[in-house]
Structures are given as C-alpha cells and as structure tokens.
Amino acid sequence: MDIELIEIQEFLTRHPPFDQLPAATLNRLPKQLTIRYFRRGLPFPPTDIDSPQLYILRKGAIELRNAQNELIGKLAEGDLYEQLCRHAVAEESGSTAEDTLVYMLSCTDLAQLCRDHSAFASYFEQSPSHRLRQALDVMVAAPASNIGLMTVPVRAMIQRVPITTTPNLSIRKAAQIMSEHRVSSLLIMDGEQLVGMVTDRDLRSRCIAVGLPTEQPVSEIMTRTLHTVDMDTLGFQALITMTRLNVHHLPVLDGERVAGLLSSTDLTRFQSANSVYLVGDIHRASSVATLAQISSKIEELQVHLISSGATANAIGQAVSAITDALTLRLLELGEQTLGAPPVPYAWLVGGSQARREQSSHSDQDNALLLADHVQPEDDVYFAALAKFVNDGLNVCGFVHCPGEVMASNSKWRQPLRVWHKYFMHWIMRPEPLALMLSSVFFDLRSLYDPANLYAGLQEKLLEQARSNQLFLAYLTANALKTRPPLGFFRNIVLIQGGDHDHTFDIKHRGTVPIIDLARVSALAASIPETNTLERLKAAADCGALSRDGAANLCDALEFIGTLRMRHQAQQLRTGQKADNFVSPDALSPLERGHLKEAFVLIHAMQEALGQRYQAGKFG
Amino acid sequence: MPMLLDWQRHWLARRASPGALRDYLQQPLVAARTDYRAVDYVAVDLETTGLDSRRDLILSVGYVTLRGMSIDLSTARHRVVRIDRSIPESSAIIHQITDDQTARGSELSAVLSEFLAELAGKVLIAHHASIEQRFLSTACRQLWNCGLPLRIVDTQALALRTFERRQIPFKVSDLRLHSLGHRYNLPRYAAHNALSDALAAAELFLAQAAHRADGRGLRLAEFLC
C-alpha cells in the first residue's frame, strides 16, 4: 500500500539480481531495507553494525583491497557487497572512496529471498565470468534477420545433399539430372573426391555455344579449379568470395568431405544489408575515386551492423574484408598502371587489419615483402606501387599510419632476407622499438602473396619466438603496461580535464589488453592465427591458456568491443567523429557492472600471464 | 531553555484532552545533551493546500524513523488525509494529490494519532521545519485543544548555519532539499510526495551529521533549532 517507496523499488529493479524477483516481492523489499551514509575515507564494511548485512551501493564509491593492500575491486552505484553474508569475517578490507549512501538488507532476509527465488539465488552462486557470458548473450540475443549473413555459418544455409555425378557421364545425361532435380549446378565426383563442377552457364557457353556434342563426357566442360568454403565460413565471407570470383556456386566442405553446394540464391534468402555488397562494387571499381566513393559507405555499414545486433568480431571481420578488398583492388589497379612487377612480392598487412578487427576509422599498417633476387633498380617500381596503394587507402578513409609503418616507407619495403634479419633482431634483442612495433609486425598476415613468400618467414619467426624466453618475458611485461581501468567509474581512473574529461579509453584500456594477452599466448605456442578470438581459442586448444581463462577473455573482448562499437555507432549517427572515449554515465548500470567484471577478468589473466612468463623481471 | 520545553510538555500533558496527543505528552522529550547518535528521530514532510496553517489543510503526511543513524524503511509511512473541500489546482500541480485520492484518505485525527505514537520520545526532522511545526501544532490544537511541543532538527537551518560558518556564498535555491542532496552526493528523488521528501530530509540529516561530527560524538543540542 505504501507505493511511495517506488523510487527505491525502481532502483532495485534496475540492478541485478533484484530484476529477477517477482513484482510482489519487489513491492515489499524496500521496507526491509535500512539506509546509512558514510563519509569518504572511512573503513568499509562498518564495524558498528550489529548483524551481518548485504550492502547495496546507492550513491558513492567503495574500494576493496586484499591482505596485501592491493586494489582488487571497486563498487559503484548498484553494486552489491555480500561478503558478510558468506563469511563471518570479511576477507577484504575496504574504504569509501566518496561520500556514500548504502541500502542494507540483513543476511537473514537475503537468505529468505534466496530460498524463495531460485533465479535470484543463482546470482550469488555464479562467478563473474558466468554473469559476463549471460550479459553478452543478451546483448547479441536477437540479431535482426537482415544481418543473418554476418552471423550465420554456411552450415545453416545449405539446403540439401548436393546432386553429384561422375566425370565420364555424358553432357546430355548430366543436363537431364540437373533438370530432374531442378538445380543449376552439378558436382562431379570421382569416388569420394570432388573433381569439378558444371553449371547452367557451362552448358551454355562451353557446350551449346561452341557446338560440342552432348555425348562427350561431362568432364570436358566442367570447371576443374574449384574454390570451396568450409562449413563454418560465415555467409558474409562466402558472399565476398563469390563476388570476388564472379561465381554463383561454391562447394561446401566438411573437412575433406563434400557437404553441400552453396548458391547465391541461398545467400539472398538471408537477405543482407545492401552495403554488404560493397565488396562486389569494389571489385568492379576502375579508379581510386570510385573506390573512395564506395568506402564512404563503410561508416554507414558499421552503424547498420551494430544497430542490428552484430558483435564487435562480426563487424571487425566485415570491415577488414572490405579493406582487404580495397587493398587487393588497389594492387590490381597499381599493376595495371605500372605494369607487371619485376620480381614476385607479397603485400603484408599488420595491426587491426591483419587481426580482422578493423573499424571504419582504423589507420593502415602494411609492408612489402620482396623476393630475394630483387635488384636495387626495381625499388622504383615497388616504391611507386606502395605509394599508390597507401595513398589510395588514405583517400578511402584508412589514413596514413602515424608511425609510418607502411610499404611506402623504404624500411618496410625489403627483400625476404632483410625481413628475416628484422624479426631475428626483434626476437633476440627485444628493445622498446620492437615492442612498440609488436602490435603491427607480430600480427602480420599476407594479403596478396602469389609466390607464397611469407609462409617460410612466418614459420621461422613463430619457431624463434616460442623458444626465446627473454623475448616472451619482455613482450609480456609490455602487454601488462596497459591495465584495465578497474576503478574507471567516476573521479577515480577517469580521464580528468581536457577534451575527454570524465571518460575512459575503451580501446586502449579495454580491448588492447586482451589483444596483447592473446598475442603473447599465440607467440608462446607458435600459433599462426592473427585474429584475437582465434588466437585465444587455439591457445586453449594447445594448453597455452586454461580453457576457462581463454573463454573468459573471448567473452570479455566481445563484450567490451561491442560496447565500443555501439559507442562509435552512436557518435556516427549524431554526426560526430567516432572515438574511443566512453563516459561511464552513457552506460546502463547493468553494462557498467558487466564491464567492471570483464575488467576484473582481464586483470586476473594479466596477473596469471605475468607470473608464467616472468614479466616482473623485465617490467 | 530545553528544560523549559520539557516543563511545558508536563504542564500540557495535564491539560490535553484524552487521546493520542496526551499519550505523546506522557513521554519525556529527548534531553539536548544526549549524544546525537543515541537519539531516535522521525523525519517528516507534509503536503498542504497552502502555506497558511490557519486556513490551509494538511493533505498528506510522510515520515520515516531513524535509529542509530540508520533510516529504517520498515517505518516509512505515507498517509493521505480526507478533506471536505476540493484541492486548489495550484497546489495539486505540485504534490499531485487529486480530489479522488483525498476522498479515499483517512481522517486527520487517525493520521495524526498514528504519527504521534511514532514520534513520542523522538526528535522531529524536517526541511524548513516551521511549516511542519505550525501545521502540526494547529491541527493538535483543533483536535485535542493543545499545542505540540517538539524537539526539532531543521535540515535547512543546519545547511544555512554551515554556509554561514564556512562563509560559503549561496543562493536561496541552494538551500532547497534537492540542491543540498546533490551537494552531499545523495540520490535524487524524481517523485515529489510527502514520503520521498521526508526520506530525502532524513538522508540529508545523515549526511550533515556525518560531515559535522566527523566521527566524534556531539550533543544533540548542536543540531537543534
């Protein structure tokens, strides 16, 4: 009847786990609370309270420290302190970091609530990592159908078992089979082996148009070099492959086995954002100006994807795929202008593009790897090619790298043997510059490499890095320099003053620490992957990271990364320039809570890795 | 002076008509020399049809008790009073109590009886307490032929003293309940009703006392009007 405590009730409703309680219980709950006020700098929990209590922070901030007086957590609005309901004596000691108002619920009342409401009780049984996973699930729960391609693997798109036949069947019989099954393509199998494919178009252009007798075996007109996709390829990536190759069918493999055939109509059923077709436009573009025009839609794509519920990884994959396409097209255009290259070369990408974690305003990191027999006079060609691509990317919105880590810089346009020397030097004698460059050059991917120059270099560097403990220790120490802003809320670890007053840098303090941890783990275990999630999964598979630890970091990266993308989408929508400075006030109490738990997890993993690779000695 | 007040209470207790007020008057007032932390308080706010206690009526009463410098929300009450005239539109806008609600309300005597039973032996907290004091006293006189002696902590008067003592320049609007709450990092209550204002005053007092006393024991007298 006293509905007037409704504001306290509403406050509780906004904060887990109280949101799990039925309305009738929530109605009564405020009456079970008492309110206390503590000035800043006082010990917490207070000692003058007779019976143990659950503390619910209403306003203010509390810092918690362990026995070694290390900061282990901070409580902000809506946070709970339930330690006294678990153990008679608090394990941590805390103090109020601000003037603080708390609601208190007696542990007896809490126990009763837990007995009556299992969903509520489970909150107190769950670990923070479990809670984070749930939060992530909620955030990306219902991706709208128009981004299906972003998140749905090919596995879920192929409709039925592929129609197949043998190579020696006649063209006429093959056409009959296709008519009978109403399909536009036929896979040609030699036993278990996929040897080719025939499509309507092949029948038309390679048989009828050239007057080939239909009694000829179908192998005469089949396409032999087939591009295939894996079952787990995302629909979006399959679409990119199709557009690039200008084909409408892709055989889908499950390991070695043919699992099905993906047609472009299968993809259009998962109607995708129009902007996803950007990649197709890129391959048709014939000038840098056209490419720039196409690129101007990347921001729009990013905003669209995030508002449709895509995760940071999905967006990173999409934007990086577009940058890859842009780079490849620029290389083609460059070669058209400059002529064929004098010696084979590989175009290497580094940083976020290599990790497939780009966003629309990333800068470019790239390098040129030249075949060893390159002559000094050939550099004119490669310098021009590099400049063409670097400038082209710049015009397309991927601005010049401030550190000049670009192929147009002669230092990063070198023959294979020099690159070998570079890497051995970085690994054998880790110095600040090498560590600074590690986020670029130890996340390297060869984007265009027809002569397969990079594979040998990569193999060598992975082998060296793994066996060099000193290098790993330095790299780890470097990775631990960036700590999550554990007390990010309010005046504690927020940026004070300047253009970014009262914010924290969600990239530098949030996602970068995870990316760094993944790199260390990958290099320590010779994992060739560059994408952070893939690195973490591979590290868990080979035991370089604990399974839980890796899974927690993956969840934390997706959660923080997705918050970051949302922040940027919001800025882009309102016509601002996207940045990484997030105000905690812009997050919901729930998001703030989960973000903090994510930070705690990262911190714990940093500690674990620091121990493992003895970073302390070199920090 | 406080002694005088308690003597007055004694004297009134013999004069008052039987009922809630006489029961209230049987309880001694809290001694002003008591450590403020050992005192029980009731924070109260009234919504009225206007500011003139002789002509205007009490529409609702909200209150909550503090013990050991903790607000005990189980004691929170909000009571709407039944009145026999329609509410002027100007005041209805502020407190959002409608004619329908007052028609369903309780008799003033019942509301005040319940309130006085809670208040007995405790100190009253209100923001700009003279309004509460005047309206409560007038009502008691009408119902039980006798005024209401009170120990009063006025959170607005405390704020004014702090500003003046520290020579902080201030505007009148800085003395409002919500502005002061913000100054002390207290939650902001969007709703404007007697209970949420009583609660806000109670929280403000906790903050003011914590800042004033700074961990020391102070005499209640330091906070009284």
| A591 has pLDDT over 50 | yes
List the structure tokens of A348: 């290497």
Would you call B207 and A37 a contact, using CB atoms and an 8 Å cutoff? yes
Q: pLDDT, tens digit, for every residue of A198-208? A: 988 889 889 88
| A143 has pLDDT over 90 | no
Would you call A35 and B73 a contact, using CB atoms and an 8 Å cutoff? yes
Q: Rounded mean pLDDT of A592-596?
A: 81
| Among the ranges given (A292-301, A305-314, A364-373, B158-167), the one the predictor scored with the smallest mean pLDDT | A305-314
Contacts for B157 with CB less than 8 Å, ≥ 6 apart: B129, B225
B193 interface with A at CB cutoff 8 Å: yes
Instruction: Please give the DSSP secondary-structure letter assigned to residue A455.
Output: H
Would you call A4 and B69 a contact, using CB atoms and an 8 Å cutoff? no
| A160 has pLDDT over 90 | no
Chain A interface, Cβ < 8 Å to B:
2, 4-8, 11, 30-39, 42, 58-60, 98-101, 104
Determine the residue among A4, A49, A96 to mutate to test chain B binding: the one whose Cβ has the most chain B Cβ atoms within 10 Å: A4
Q: Rounded mean pLDDT of A471-496?
A: 74
* CA–CA dist A585, A599 (Å, integer): 17
> Given this model, what pLDDT does residue A47 score?
82
Q: pLDDT, tens digit, for every residue of A388-427? A: 999 999 999 998 878 889 999 999 999 999 999 999 999 9
| A488 has pLDDT over 50 | no
Would you call B72 and A60 a contact, using CB atoms and an 8 Å cutoff? no
Please state the ipTM of this predicted complex: 0.91
User: CA B121 from chain center: how many Å?
Assistant: 14
> Given this model, what pLDDT does residue A1 score?
43
Would you call B206 and A59 a contact, using CB atoms and an 8 Å cutoff? no
Q: What angle do CA A532, A516, A359 make, to 5 degrees?
A: 55
Q: B196 to chain A: which residues are within 8 Å by CB? A: 4, 7
Residue A6: band (very low, low, confident or very high) from pLDDT cuts 50, 70, 90: confident
Nearest alpha-carbon partner for A378 in A415, A431, A422, A334:
A415
| A350 has pLDDT over 90 | yes
Would you call B196 and A4 a contact, using CB atoms and an 8 Å cutoff? yes
Nearest alpha-carbon partner for B95 in B64, B56, B68, B144:
B56
> Given this model, what pLDDT does residue A88 score?
62
Determine the residue among A1, A35, A47, A99 to mutate to test chain B binding: the one whose Cβ has the most chain B Cβ atoms within 10 Å: A35
> Given this model, what pLDDT does residue A142 score?
47
Q: Tell me what percent of the residues of chain A surpass a pLDDT of 90.
A: 40
Q: pLDDT, tens digit, for every residue of B82-122? A: 887 766 666 666 666 777 777 778 999 999 999 999 999 99
Q: Scanning every residue of chain B, which has its alpha carbon at the shortest distance from the alpha carbon of A41? A: B214
Residue A506: band (very low, low, confident or very high) from pLDDT cuts 50, 70, 90: very high
B189 interface with A at CB cutoff 8 Å: yes
- Which residue in A7, A11, A104 is closest to B191 by CB distance? A7
Would you call B184 and A36 a contact, using CB atoms and an 8 Å cutoff? no
Identity of the amino acid at A290:
T
Helix locations, A198-297, DSSP H: 200-202, 235-245, 264-269, 278-284, 288-295
| Among the ranges given (A26-30, A435-439, A453-457), the one the predictor scored with the smallest mean pLDDT | A435-439
Q: Scanning every residue of chain A, which has its alpha carbon at the shortest distance from the alpha carbon of B67? A: A34
Would you call B191 and A37 a contact, using CB atoms and an 8 Å cutoff? no
Q: Please report, to the nearest 10 degrees, the dihedral formed by the alpha carbons of residues A189, A191, A194, A196 taken in order.
A: -30
How far apart are the CA of A8 and the nearest CA of chain B, in angstroms?
Answer: 9
Place of tokens 């143990």: A52
> Given this model, what pLDDT does residue B132 score?
95
A368 bridge partner residues: A347, A413
In chain A, the domains with their CATH numbers are 3-125 (2.60.120.10), 127-143+468-619 (no CATH), 153-269 (3.10.580.10)
Would you call A36 and B202 a contact, using CB atoms and an 8 Å cutoff? no
| A486 has pLDDT over 90 | no
Residue A139: band (very low, low, confident or very high) from pLDDT cuts 50, 70, 90: low
How far apart are the CA of B102 and the nearest CA of chain A, in angstroms?
Answer: 15
Q: pLDDT, tens digit, for every residue of B130-178? A: 999 999 999 999 999 888 999 999 999 999 999 999 888 888 889 999 9
Phi, psi of A103 (to 5 degrees): -100, 140
Residue B14: band (very low, low, confident or very high) from pLDDT cuts 50, 70, 90: confident
Q: Scanning every residue of chain A, which has its alpha carbon at the shortest distance from the alpha carbon of B187? A: A59
**CATH code of B25's domain:** 3.30.420.10
Q: B191 to chain A: which residues are within 8 Å by CB? A: 4, 6-7
Q: B97 to chain A: which residues are within 8 Å by CB? A: none
* CA–CA dist B25, B138 (Å, integer): 16
Helix locations, A398-546, DSSP H: 416-428, 432-441, 454-467, 469-479, 512-524, 532-541
Residue A416, CA distances (Å) to A373, A409, A419 in order: 9, 16, 5
Residue B197: band (very low, low, confident or very high) from pLDDT cuts 50, 70, 90: very high
- Which residue in A33, A35, A99 is closest to B185 by CB distance? A99
Q: Scanning every residue of chain B, which has its alpha carbon at the shortest distance from the alpha carbon of A1? A: B78
> Given this model, what pLDDT does residue A193 score?
87
| Among the ranges given (A109-118, A249-258, A331-340, A462-471), the one the predictor scored with the smallest mean pLDDT | A249-258
* CA–CA dist A45, A47 (Å, integer): 6
Would you call B210 and A39 a contact, using CB atoms and an 8 Å cutoff? yes
| A575 has pLDDT over 90 | no
Instruction: Please give the DSSP secondary-structure letter assigned to residue B131.
Output: H
How far apart are the CA of B214 and the nearest CA of chain A, in angstroms?
Answer: 8
- Which residue in B69, B73, B196 is closest to A31 by CB distance? B73
Q: Give A52-108 as a DSSP string.
A: -EEEEEEES-EEEE-TT--EEEEE-TT-EE-HHHH-SS-SSEEEESS-EEEEEEEHH
Q: Rounded mean pLDDT of A40-68?
A: 86
B190 interface with A at CB cutoff 8 Å: yes
How far apart are the CA of A89 and the nearest CA of chain B, in angstroms?
Answer: 22
Q: pLDDT, tens digit, for every residue of A208-258? A: 888 899 999 999 999 888 888 888 887 777 877 776 676 778 899 888 888
Would you call B185 and A5 a contact, using CB atoms and an 8 Å cutoff? no
How far apart are the CA of B14 and the nearest CA of chain A, in angstroms?
Answer: 36
User: Residues A373, A379, A381, A387: is their CA dihedral positive or negative?
Assistant: positive
The long-range contacts involving A208-216, CB below 8 angstroms and separated by at least 24 positions, are: A212/A171, A213/A171, A214/A170, A214/A171, A214/A172, A214/A175, A215/A170, A215/A171, A215/A172, A216/A170, A216/A171
| Among the ranges given (A122-131, A269-278, A473-482), the one the predictor scored with the smallest mean pLDDT | A269-278
Beta strand A257-263 with A345-349 is unpaired
Q: Scanning every residue of chain A, which has its alpha carbon at the shortest distance from the alpha carbon of B210? A: A39
> Given this model, what pLDDT does residue A188 score?
93
List the structure tokens of A398: 């991927």
How far apart are the CA of B16 and the nearest CA of chain A, in angstroms?
Answer: 32
> Given this model, what pLDDT does residue A492 score?
37
> Given this model, what pLDDT does residue A275 score?
45
How far apart are the CA of B65 and the nearest CA of chain A, in angstroms?
Answer: 10
Helix locations, A117-263, DSSP H: 118-125, 128-139, 148-151, 171-181, 200-202, 235-245
The overall average pLDDT reported for chain A is 85
How many beta-carbon contacts under 8 Å exist across A and B? 76
Q: A11 to chain B: which residues are within 8 Å by CB? A: 187
> Given this model, what pLDDT does residue A490 score?
37
Q: Give A340-375 as a DSSP string.
A: S-SS-EEEEE-HHHHHT---TTPPP-EEEEE-TT--
> Given this model, what pLDDT does residue A272 score?
46
Nearest alpha-carbon partner for A388 in A291, A460, A315, A478:
A291
* CA–CA dist A276, B95 (Å, integer): 55
> Given this model, what pLDDT does residue A540 score?
93
Q: Scanning every residue of chain A, which has its alpha carbon at the shortest distance from the alpha carbon of B69? A: A36
Q: Scanning every residue of chain A, which has its alpha carbon at the shortest distance from the alpha carbon of B72? A: A34
How far apart are the CA of B173 and the nearest CA of chain A, in angstroms?
Answer: 22
Contacts for A76 with CB less than 8 Å, ≥ 6 apart: A57, A61, A489, A490, A584, A592, A596
Q: A100 to chain B: which residues are within 8 Å by CB? A: 185
- Which residue in A31, A34, A58 is closest to B70 by CB distance? A34
Q: A104 to chain B: which residues are within 8 Å by CB? A: 70
Would you call B187 and A59 a contact, using CB atoms and an 8 Å cutoff? yes
Domain containing residue B93? 2-223
Q: B96 to chain A: which residues are within 8 Å by CB? A: none
How far apart are the CA of A28 and the nearest CA of chain B, in angstroms?
Answer: 9
Determine the residue among B44, B60, B65, B71 to mutate to test chain A binding: the one whose Cβ has the most chain A Cβ atoms within 10 Å: B71
How far apart are the CA of B103 and the nearest CA of chain A, in angstroms?
Answer: 16
Q: Scanning every residue of chain B, which has its alpha carbon at the shortest distance from the alpha carbon of A34? A: B72
- Identify which of A261-275, A560-574, B33-47, B185-199 has the greatest average pLDDT: B33-47
> Given this model, what pLDDT does residue A158 score?
78
